[in-house]
Structure formats: C-alpha cells, structure tokens
C-alpha cells in the first residue's frame, strides 16, 4: 500500500520530532509542489532568465530564485517564528507564537534552469525556543536540526526527508497532488566508486584534495586499486539524491580563490540539511577537518567546505587532510 506524506506522519506518531514539525513540514511540501509547477512552466509563463538583481551572495538572481523564495515564504510564514533564505539578506520574521525556525535554499542549482536540468529546494527545521534573537535561533549547529530535507525537480518531483532516524523519499503524484512514499529507508553504502567535484577548479584546490582526486583518477593502476566514475550536475540536490540512491561522494572544497576560500556552499541551508540526511542514511559529512554538523555557525550566509557521502570514503578523505 502506498502511503502519502500525511499518512506517513500519522503512522510515525511516536516520532516526537516529526510530530512537532509536521504542520511546517506539510507547508514546505505544499510550497515545493508549487515551486515544481513554477519551474516546469517557467518558459511558458515568461518566468525564465535573470531577475536583474543580485542576492547577498553576490550572485545574479534568476526570476525563479525570487519566485521560489516568495512561494516558500507565503506557505510557511505563519507556521514558523523565523525564516532565513539564501535569497534574503536578513532573517524574515514569522509568527511570534510559533516555536520553530525554517532555513532554506528556495532553488538550488539555478544555473541549470535555462538548460532544463534538475534543480531543487533544500530546507532545515530548527527549534526556536522563547528568548534569543530571531537570528540567534537560526545560528544553531546542524546537530540541533529537528528535520531536514530537499525537493528535487527532476523527471519526477520528489521530497526526501529525515528527522534523524532514516531517510524517506516521496514522489509527487500529479493526479492527487500528494507526495507518496516510494523510496523508504534510503541507505548509503560505506564504500564508493563514484566522485563528484567541479574539476575545472582543480588548479585552485588545496593539497589534500589534489592528492585524493589524483589517486581516484589513477584507478585500478594506483593505490585505490579500483576504477572510479565521475559525475557533476552542478545542482547539489541532484548530486545528494544520486548518492542516496546509488552511492558515491560529493566534494565542494575550499580553494585558493578569495570568493571560495571557505568553499562555495552555505552552511545553514545547503551543507547542514544535506549532512543530516547523509548521516541518517549511514553516510558521513565533513569539512575535511571536522564533522560538518558540529560547526557552530556565526553568520547566516556563511560558507563551508563540503565533503559528503559514503562513510569509509569520507573518512579516507579526512585522512588526506590529517597527513597534510
Ligand atoms: P545555488 O544555485 O542555490 O546558488 O547553489 C548552487 C550550488 C550547488 O547547487 C552546486 O553544487 C554548486 O553551486 C555548483 O557550483 P559550480 O557552478 O561551481 O559547479
Ligand atoms: Mn544562488
Ligand atoms: Mn544552492
Ligand atoms: Mn539557491
């Protein structure tokens, strides 16, 4: 029997985190189905291309970045005390009586929009206890996330979520407008034979990443004694989804350029939620030097180096850093 997200939440009524976040999670799911429709119909609705504005990251916003952000805010503002988004510099005040915070990347991989390649939405739900500023509530370490997930707008629209115990994937059913559990209990194999990294940045990488990738590329003729495959979609959602389904590792390391000296990806709404999902599926997530989820955030839009996926492979990469 296929379970809808609502039925799944009911069936897991002993999961206290899930019950606590359920209304907000359903709001996020509702927003994601609307974003999926906006993305799918953008060319028909004159919603493609650049918005003509820059976000706080210094990135040119796409019209769909802004549209997706607005959809998410409208669907969740009453359900959370505070929201924080990649596309908005400051925190967004929500409902002061609510006790949750929602941090999100409304549209991940937006450089892929014009070429019709998979994009997604990434989100993290945190506790927002009374007291403390709205911003301070968002600056909690990833270990404190109550729920994390993403929506993938690919050939199928999917919602993949965790509250820490297992990772479950739901597929959006057009006919009913429901997310249906199609991928229960996703697990990541500890060993990897596939890596994902933007190889065009190779000359800027730090030494441990140079050494690790060089060893992978030598394949069965080198120390790794097996051949590696490579993928790079340039949508983190699609990369993490692939790793959850068929394994591998994903790296967006720090490099020597000023803009990416702490990596490219953002800690609160990209790295932390993905790290929680990957760990809950039996994988690992690291900066190379430490567990990603243990970082104490200091800024809303701070960046971080990301290495995540197969547990043994992430440990091996950390070994390259320890040698350096
Ligand atoms: P966003 O579109 O939300 O700004 O995120 C883009 C990120 C991520 O999706 C992806 O892994 C990475 O940027 C791709 O970077 P490159 O363009 O350097 O390959
Ligand atoms: Mn962006
Ligand atoms: Mn992103
Ligand atoms: Mn984005």
Which ligand 1 atom sits closest to the C-alpha of 235?
Answer: 9
The rounded percent of the chain whose pLDDT value lies above 70 is 99
For residue 305, give Cα distances in angstroms to 62, 154, 250, 288: 25, 26, 11, 8
- Residue 94: helix, strand or coil by DSSP? coil
pLDDT tier, 41 (very low <50, low <70, confident <90, very high otherwise): very high
Is the confidence metric ipTM above 0.95 for this complex? yes
So what's the pLDDT on residue 290? 98
Ligand 1 atom nearest to CA at 201: 18
Average pLDDT over residues 56-61: 93
If one residue of 199, 233, 235, 248 were mutated to test the ligand 1 pocket, choosing by the most ligand atoms within 8 A of its CB, it would be 235
Tell me: is residue 105 an annotated ligand-binding position.
yes
- Which DSSP string do the residues of 268-294 spell out, in sequence order? IIIIHHHHHHHHHTT-EEE-SSSBGGG
Q: Is 96 left (phi over 0), alpha (psi -120 to 50) or beta?
A: alpha
Residue nearest to atom 7 of ligand 1 (CA): 109
What pLDDT is attached to residue 282? 98
For residue 70, say whether it is annotated as part of any ligand binding site: no
Would strands 194-196 and 249-252 be described as parallel, antiparallel, or unpaired? Answer: parallel
Look at residue 52 and tell me whether its pLDDT is greater than 90.
yes
**Is residue 99 annotated as involved in ligand binding?**
no
Q: Is 105 in the pocket of ligand 1 (CB under 6 A)?
A: yes
- Give residue 86 CA to ligand 2 midpoint distance, Å: 7
Across 216-243, average pLDDT: 98
What is the pLDDT confidence band of residue 131, given thresholds at 50, 70 and 90? confident
Q: pLDDT of 138-182, one tens digit each? A: 999 999 999 999 999 999 999 999 999 899 999 999 999 999 999
Verify whether ligand 1 is closer than 6 Å to residue 303 (CB atom): no
pLDDT (0 to 100) of residue 324: 66
The best mutation among 264, 285, 304, 306 to test binding of ligand 1, ranked by most ligand atoms within 8 Å of the C-beta, falls on 264
Q: How confident is the model at residue 67 (pLDDT cuts 50, 70, 90)?
A: very high
Cβ of 236 closer than 6 Å to ligand 1, yes or no, is: yes
d(CA 23, CA 76): 9
pTM: 0.98
Cα 82 from Cα 178, distance rounded (Å): 27
Three-class SS state of 193: coil
Q: Is the pLDDT of residue 316 over 70?
A: yes
Digit-coded pLDDT (tens) for 197-211: 999 999 999 999 999
Is 109 assigned to a binding site?
yes
The band of 130, judged by pLDDT with boundaries at 50, 70 and 90, is confident
Beta carbons of 262 and 276 less than 8 angstroms apart: no
User: CB–CB of 37/153 below 8 Å?
Assistant: no
Rounded Cα distance between 169 and 184, Å, is 6
Alpha carbon separation from 271 to 6, 179, 275, 303 (Å, rounded): 27, 24, 6, 9
């Amino acid at each position: 029997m296929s379970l809808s997200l609502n039925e799944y939440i009911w069936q897991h009524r002993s999961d206290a985190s899930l019950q606590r976040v359920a209304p907000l999670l359903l709001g996020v799911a509702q927003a994601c189905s609307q974003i999926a429709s906006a993305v799918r119909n953008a060319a028909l609705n004159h919603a493609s291309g650049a918005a003509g504005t820059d976000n706080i990251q210094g990135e040119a916003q796409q019209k769909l970045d802004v549209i997706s952000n607005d959809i998410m805010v409208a669907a969740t503002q009453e359900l959370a005390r505070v929201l924080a988004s990649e596309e908005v510099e400051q925190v967004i005040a929500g409902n002061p009586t609510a006790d949750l915070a929602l941090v999100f990347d409304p549209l991940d991989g937006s450089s892929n929009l014009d070429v019709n390649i998979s994009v997604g939405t990434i989100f993290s739900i945190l506790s927002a206890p009374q007291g403390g500023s709205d911003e301070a509530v968002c600056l909690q370490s990833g270990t404190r996330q109550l729920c994390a997930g993403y929506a993938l707008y690919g050939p199928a629209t999917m919602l993949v979520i965790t509250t820490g115990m297992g990772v479950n994937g739901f597929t959006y059913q057009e006919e009913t407008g429901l997310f249906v559990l199609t991928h229960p209990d996703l697990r990541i194999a500890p060993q990897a034979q596939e890596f994902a990294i933007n190889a065009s940045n190779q000359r800027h990488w730090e030494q441990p990443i140079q050494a690790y990738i060089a060893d992978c590329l030598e394949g069965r003729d080198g120390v790794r004694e097996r051949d590696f495959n490579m993928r790079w979609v340039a949508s983190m959602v699609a990369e993490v989804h692939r790793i959850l389904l068929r394994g591998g590792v994903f790296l967006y390391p720090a490099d020597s350029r000023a803009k990416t000296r702490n990596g490219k990806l953002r800690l609160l709404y990209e790295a932390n939620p993905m790290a929680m999902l990957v760990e809950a599926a039996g994988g690992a997530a690291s900066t190379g030097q430490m567990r990603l989820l243990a970082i104490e955030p200091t800024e809303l839009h701070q960046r971080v180096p990301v290495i995540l996926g197969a547990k043994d492979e992430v440990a091996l990469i950390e070994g390259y850093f320890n040698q350096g």
